[in-house]
Structure 1
């Protein structure tokens, strides 16, 4: 096959991107300092060793293994229902399945398959139209603005809907959360239209600092809530759907129909219990320190004289946020990797995406490893990163 010039260029670009990802993965494992060290990036041996070390503290390992959702799975479900202040919860292998089942059940109960949601919501962006293609639901976009929907937008939506789905935080808009007053107004507006409210709470665990409310009070604004066990808690995978007992029982039936009645799930469930025990209590500290890191990043960019840089949101709502810079993604990705290779300091460990012509953004996560960084450490790291951008003097 003969490749044209454009094909050859595209292939070269993909090869360069793959090479940078491989180098970054090596840096992630070997760097002396980074703002987070996600467990999923570890080796199988590391993951199993960590589980064996911490599992005895969260469940009796002499208990018989689960079969189709009993024993340890039921224990996790009870724990989650209690944390969220709900009547019951059901464990699911994936969040995509959990939410489709929840929304399908609500559609049957309300008699309306329309689901009002944000244009950046996970089902719209990351699930290949699963709501409509698999579950017969009809997504209705409330807004595409980079913020959560407002109460007026819910009231003025020009067609009826059975369920309002809110992603908290809204990841693709910068891990954004509304204010508590805005959230209560939006849920009230949905109920004024005889709709139920479902929270896509994959990362709801980390919202308590922003709302200054306990989890059960936040979840209590919704009729049902989905939570993830790996996005913030470091589990192997898995999700839970929590809500009224009758809804959860119906969801278990649909879980089976969707292929989610897994024979044994104890390794994943154990990792979820470890995450609830170990990471959940630390998330507020991560969120508070993310604000310190974000402020220091802004100060560092200003001191480095970058023509334009933005931390979004300026004060992070969770322990994750975005950084935007006026460069092509491959340029800033290379600078970040070179800094880590040359100094063993990995400031930006995630992919850089294109935000527009000459504009790139990445996501920053501050977790346990990041708590070791002072504001001065962050500013120094920014200076080293900026010095590796085109046109800058080498450090």
Structure 2
């Protein structure tokens, strides 16, 4: 049985949002389109997409925003343009940047820019890491929150210092905001304040928002128009963006409104996890509505435990486990979304009891 089949048989799913079937998704999209009189865009021209781009731009405090079919195309394009503007091809990236971890060298192989890794792999990079670079940087990318290290964020004063340094030294500061929506409650600041001082911001329309796919790039009007042209050059000019925009737009406001509740549930979960010393949590305090659970078993053992609990109890604990630095240790990710928000406390306790019991020597 595949992981997807086993997960589908479970009555309780711990991480993430509820995943509707394609039939449910398309039916909801159809009803929403009918209700709002939605027409297709044509190569990005259309009332719905243009209004949604403007909405994202205003929410983040920018002049403009443009839809892009993938975050992978979005980010390297933004950083390529930053390099063109500053006559340097050097971009500072954290060692866990999505570009380095998951994009198969596209920034190098497609000749977008040269990457320079800065910072400790287990912590957000700091303004001192930038100051230590003797070269002329064109850009620096900062991910908020940092998914690969459990959703960590820099302190607000550290974030301000990074913004100020980049402004003073003409470094284009770009945000990987794939999960930006999740930081607002932790920072206690509106999204426009979080984004202020960044030159460009990428946001995902499918991760926390739950759409079918797609991304937005926000920045100055001129920067966004240049990015739009580069998206065309790279094959991103699909004739109809309508399915992706509708899937995000029809639930966008509700998802944004729910983010503080997800964070409150994350804070509750942190308190609960104190009663399970066999499970170590990263980060030490909640900084977004996601976290990593470090387990004292190998990755292979963790996956076997997951499958056993799913088969015997109908509870799906996590999607994947990753190797940790120590032997016979691993970690898993929990995104606190609709599933954990709606789940009775007793069911969460049951899931943790089952997991902790299998982890004990």
- State how far apart, in whole Å, the 2-side matches of 1:55 and 1:36 are: 29
Secondary structure of the residue aligned to 1:123 is helix
- Do structure 1's residue 33 and structure 2's residue 12 form an aligned pair? yes
The Cα of 1:332 is off from its aligned counterpart by 1.7
Decide which structure has the larger Cα Rg and report it: 1
- State how far apart, in whole Å, the 1-side matches of 2:204 and 2:319 are: 20
Structure-2-length-normalised TM-score: 0.93
Q: Could you say if the C-alpha distance between residues 84 and 56 of structure 1 is closer, same or farther in structure 2, counting changes exceeding 3 Å?
A: farther
Residue aligning to 1:340: 310
Secondary structure of the residue aligned to 1:240 is strand
Residue aligning to 2:21: 43
- Do structure 1's residue 352 and structure 2's residue 321 form an aligned pair? yes
Residue aligning to 2:66: 90
Q: Residue 16 of structure 2 contacts residue 334 of structure 2 at CA under 8 Å; is this kept in 1? A: no
Query: 257, 269, 281: which one pairs with 1:311?
Result: 281
Q: Which moved more, 1:236-245 or 1:363-372?
A: 363-372
Residue aligning to 1:148: 124
Q: Residue 77 of structure 2 contacts residue 112 of structure 2 at CA under 8 Å; is this kept in 1? A: no
Query: 48, 66, 70: which one pairs with 2:41?
Result: 66
Query: 184, 187, 193: which one pairs with 2:163?
Result: 187
Q: Could you say if the C-alpha distance between residues 31 and 294 of structure 1 is closer, same or farther in structure 2, counting changes exceeding 3 Å?
A: farther
- State how far apart, in whole Å, the 2-side matches of 1:242 and 1:284 are: 23
The Cα of 1:238 is off from its aligned counterpart by 0.3
Query: 202, 206, 221: which one pairs with 2:182?
Result: 206
For the aligned residues, what is the CA RMSD? 1.9
Q: Give unmatched runs, 5+ long, in structure 2.
A: none
- State how far apart, in whole Å, the 1-side matches of 2:314 and 2:33 are: 32
Q: Residue 155 of structure 1 contacts residue 190 of structure 1 at CA under 8 Å; is this kept in 2? A: no
The Cα of 1:187 is off from its aligned counterpart by 1.5
Q: Could you say if the C-alpha distance between residues 53 and 342 of structure 1 is closer, same or farther in structure 2, counting changes exceeding 3 Å?
A: farther
The Cα of 1:30 is off from its aligned counterpart by 3.4
- State how far apart, in whole Å, the 2-side matches of 1:251 and 1:80 are: 16
- State how far apart, in whole Å, the 2-side matches of 1:100 and 1:238 are: 15
- How many residue pairs match? The answer is 359
- State how far apart, in whole Å, the 1-side matches of 2:34 and 2:340 are: 27
Q: Residue 299 of structure 2 contacts residue 330 of structure 2 at CA under 8 Å; is this kept in 1? A: yes
List aligned pairs for 1:124-273, cutoff 5 A: 124-273=100-249
